[in-house]
């Protein structure tokens, strides 16, 4: 068993030692990821049914009104992301932020935009330039959490807020993140990222706001930017587990055809 029982994805969880260090999952954690994905699938199926019946009230907003606050923390987070991330990752990070905020608006959640923006703009820096760990050596999210935590605390920012950002980043690959347990920002970061990568939740938005986001931040080759390549990530980590699940699903679909 792991040497600590911290919740999967938190900064403390990423620092555990032993057999399940570097973001490797226990059997129970793999089952939890599967359960989380099942929950997301059920939510998406419910949205599809509501849309078919004309019962979904789509949400839209002027993107100018969704801009993050101009604070030292958001500036430092943005400058760091802009320095190390390529254009495709930066655009993905912006889309993740907007989708997260829109999903929060759809549910009328109270959101700390400073925390959500910093987490969104930095959530994939474990894959960015000048990284000191490769995805095959350590979970890229675990490495990214440490990279962000080190950078933002080194800039003198409030440690409690930096930890909220770091935990949100670390949790986002869990498949589903509970708002009640971890806060609206961590929940919406995960939802925003899954919305951008897999389209989950996009039925909740107006066509106009989807098109505006796409126009400002076009997608590009996101699979390569996120290094979604079989065999590339450390075996047993969330990225490796999720990629293997998707590969197995595609093979099964191919067999049916």
Class of residue 230 by CB neighbours under 10 A (exposed 0-12, middle 13-18, buried 19+): exposed
Contact between residue 68 and residue 74 where contact means Cβ atoms under 8 Å apart: yes
C-beta of residue 232 within 8 angstroms of C-beta of residue 76: no
> Any residues with CB less than 8 A from the CB of 5 and at least 6 apart, and which?
none
Please indicate, yes or no, whether the overall pTM of this predicted structure exceeds 0.85: yes
CA-wise closest residue to 173 among 116, 121, 124:
124
The residue with tokens 């059920």 is 42
Which tens digits make up the pLDDT trace of 54-79? 999 999 999 999 999 999 999 999 99
Q: Provide the pLDDT confidence category of residue 249 given band limits of 50, 70 and 90.
A: confident
Rounded alpha-carbon distances, angstroms, from residue 197 to 89, 152, 188: 12, 26, 14
Domain boundaries, the chain: 11-58+68-256
Q: Which pLDDT tens digit goes with each residue over 183-219?
A: 999 999 999 999 999 999 999 999 999 999 999 999 9
Residues 233 and 140 sit within 8 Å (Cβ to Cβ): yes
Which residues face 24 on adjacent strands?
Answer: 237
Residue 23 has pLDDT above 90, yes or no: yes
Residues 232, 239: Cα–Cα separation, whole Å: 9
What distance separates the 2 farthest-apart alpha carbons in the chain? 57
pLDDT band for position 254 (cuts 50, 70, 90) = confident
pLDDT confidence tier of residue 256, bands split at 50, 70 and 90: very low
Instruction: Give me the DSSP letters along 56-77.
Output: ---B---GGGGPPP--HHHHHH
pLDDT band at 253 (very low <50, low <70, confident <90, very high): confident
C-alpha to C-alpha distance for 193 and 195, rounded to whole angstroms:
5
pLDDT digits (tens, 9 = 90+) for 114-148: 999 999 999 999 999 999 999 999 999 999 999 99
């Amino acid at each position: 068993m792991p040497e600590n029982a911290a919740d999967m994805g938190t900064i403390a969880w990423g620092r555990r030692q032993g057999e399940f260090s570097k973001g490797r999952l226990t059997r129970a954690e793999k089952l939890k990821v599967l359960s989380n994905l099942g929950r997301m699938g059920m939510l998406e199926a419910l949205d599809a049914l509501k849309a078919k019946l004309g019962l979904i009230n789509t949400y839209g907003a002027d993107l100018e009104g969704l801009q993050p606050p101009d604070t030292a923390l958001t500036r430092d987070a943005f400058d760091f992301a802009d320095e190390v991330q390529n254009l495709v990752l930066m655009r993905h990070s912006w889309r993740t932020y907007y989708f997260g905020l829109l999903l929060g608006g759809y549910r009328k959640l109270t959101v700390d935009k400073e925390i959500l923006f910093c987490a969104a703009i930095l959530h994939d820096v474990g894959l960015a330039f000048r990284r000191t760990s490769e995805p095959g050596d350590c979970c890229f999210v675990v490495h990214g959490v440490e990279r962000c935590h080190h950078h933002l605390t080194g800039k003198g920012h409030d440690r409690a807020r930096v930890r909220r950002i770091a935990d949100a980043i670390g949790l986002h690959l869990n498949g589903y993140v509970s708002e009640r347990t971890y806060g609206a920002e961590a929940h919406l970061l995960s939802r925003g990222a899954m919305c951008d990568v897999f389209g989950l939740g996009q039925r909740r938005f107006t066509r106009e706001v989807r098109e505006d986001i796409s126009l400002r931040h076009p997608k590009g080759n996101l699979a390569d930017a996120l290094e979604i390549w079989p065999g590339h990530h450390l075996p047993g980590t969330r990225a490796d587990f999720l990629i293997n699940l998707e590969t197995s699903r595609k093979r099964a679909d191919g067999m049916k055809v």
